[in-house]
Structure 1
Amino acid sequence: MGIYEILQKYFIDPIRYNQGYNIVNTLTYAIILGIAALVVYKVLKKLGIKYDNAFFRALIPYMILGAFGRALTDATIIPQSYLTVTPGIYFLVFMITFSSLLITHKFFEDWRKVFLYFGWALVGGELLLLLFNLEKVQFNFDTLKYFIPFATIALMTIYLLSIKLHLVKKNSYLFYAHFYDATTTFVGVDFMGYWEQHVLPRYLMDITGTAAVMYFLKFAVLMVALYLMEYLQETESDKELMDFIKMVMFILGFAPGTRNLLRMLMGV
């Protein structure tokens, strides 16, 4: 099999025909994400940008931007292309976010506020797109009668686990984000007729017969990852890198979860 055939089978066709992920493209995208994260970390460190609470808050609208944009694409409000579906939309939003960060940092003294406001302005633009195309959306608020109780149980579970487990208490925001994502997947697959695109979760759901397995998968992966990160952290420089990785981990939970919830609420 030549390079073109490999690209066609494992990368192009899954996007074109909405086939979901496979082992090859999953591993490839994971490697690309890892490399990109390290490059961004090096650039931000060179610029002297610290990962404090203000910076974290400023990233929130950009996380929503990608999630909202993906849901609008599912609703055919934004035309479908390789840059508006997964994983292309991640690269597009990354370029928008990173470019905005570099420009605001260079030209504005209070760059965090400008960066934050610009992000919310972009989200506002997506909201206007939705308002001007309401005829394409069939809102399904029945989603909430499943999401709210299960999300409440999930968040209470994290709270109780944080009392007993040091890693959960120290990194509760990561567990909240990923259990939020797990809840949207569980509700979508088990109650709303959606299907899982990712390889390992799809395999585990086939075995167990329920998307509730996502809670156990998320918990296990986070615990192992956080334990290894604590074990490997030795210096203050290591801590900065680990904090950055945790930020990426948060995004990987919060953004897909928000996209899932918006998509279900929009009935697409």
Structure 2
Amino acid sequence: MGLQGFFHRYFIEPIQQNQGYNPVNTLTYAVILGVAVILIYKMLKRMGIRVDDRFFKALIPYIILGPLMRSMTDVGILPRTYLTVSPGGYFVIATFAIAALFAVWIHLGPDERLYPIYRDFGWVLVGGLLFVLIINLDKVSFNWRVLEYFIPILLLAEASVWLLARVLPSVRDNSLLFYTHFYDATTTFVGIQFFGFWEQHVLARWLMSTFGTPAVMYAEKFFILWPIVWILDNWMEDEDPDLINFVKLTIFVLGFGPGTRNLLIALMGG
């Protein structure tokens, strides 16, 4: 198999045939993500932008854009291309977010006004996508029964995080990350257990096959997330706080984005 055939088999076909992820593209995308985190962090440092609550709040609309675009693609409102499904869709959203930030920074620098203006531009983009959704509601078959399962199971899942936070300092100090990833696990569990969805990620598919239930997603989330935040808080406490915050922000996005995408797709009959 030549290089072109290898690339087509492991990167192009999974998108064309909606096969999900495989070990090769999973590892590749993980490396790309790691490099991107370091490069974006360095860019923010050079721009004098702190990764704090102001930055997080300004970034929220851009975080919403990804799952909204993906769900609209899966229900047929947006065309299915390499730029509207993962991982291409997330690269597109990241490009928009970085370009918008740079454009605002060029005019204001690291001024306090940067954050609300950057945030508002993101909400304009979200509003544009919502407008496209509204004028194409005839393509959507809403399934509100999803909430009958999702809400009570989510409450139980988040209650378990609350209990874990009482006994584990790493969970307590990073509770937002655990709440977010258990939200993601709940959308996966409900979609697969009750509505016939399937899991795209390699490790999760293997765990579900091995243990025979999508409920294993909660254990997967916990046993991956807990050591990561423990290392960040204990072994890397002398590192730049902005770097730690940006890594945690990335972890948040990796939970909130897929979870919201799953929920929207289920609700929209995707």
TM-score, normalised via structure 2 length? 0.97
User: C-alpha separation between the residues in 2 aligned to 1:47 and 1:115?
Assistant: 14
**Any residues of structure 2 matched to 1:71-220 within 5 Å, and which?**
71-108=71-108, 109=111, 110-220=113-223
Letter in 2 for 1:171: N
Cα RMSD (Å) = 1.0
**Any residues of structure 2 matched to 1:244-259 within 5 Å, and which?**
244-259=246-261
Unpaired stretches in structure 1, ≥5 consecutive residues: none
1:230 corresponds to which of 229, 233, 238: 233
Percent of aligned pairs sharing the same letter: 50
For each residue in 1:56-111, what CA deviation from the matched residue of structure 2 results, as whole angstroms up to 9, or x when unmatched? 01111111101000000001111110000011001000000011111112213511
Look up the match of 1:60: 60
Letter in 2 for 1:47: M
The answer on 1:261 being equivalent to 2:263 is: yes
Unpaired stretches in structure 2, ≥5 consecutive residues: none
For each residue in 1:130-182, what CA deviation from the matched residue of structure 2 results, as whole angstroms up to 9, or x when unmatched? 11011111000000001000111111111111111100000000001100000
Q: Secondary structure at the match of 2:218?
A: helix
Offset at residue 232 of structure 1 (A): 2.5
Look up the match of 2:51: 51
Offset at residue 234 of structure 1 (A): 4.2
Letter in 2 for 1:64: I
Say how many residue pairs are matched.
267
The answer on 1:242 being equivalent to 2:244 is: yes
Offset at residue 48 of structure 1 (A): 1.0
Letter in 1 for 2:193: D
TM-score, normalised via structure 1 length? 0.97
Look up the match of 2:20: 20
User: C-alpha separation between the residues in 2 aligned to 1:236 and 1:21?
Assistant: 33
User: C-alpha separation between the residues in 2 aligned to 1:150 and 1:81?
Assistant: 34
Does the Cα contact within 8 Å between 2:52 and 2:245 map onto a contact in 1?
A: no
Offset at residue 41 of structure 1 (A): 0.3
Letter in 1 for 2:213: T
User: C-alpha separation between the residues in 2 aligned to 1:232 and 1:262?
Assistant: 37
Letter in 2 for 1:185: T
Offset at residue 240 of structure 1 (A): 2.3
Look up the match of 2:10: 10
User: C-alpha separation between the residues in 2 aligned to 1:113 and 1:123?
Assistant: 15
Look up the match of 2:40: 40
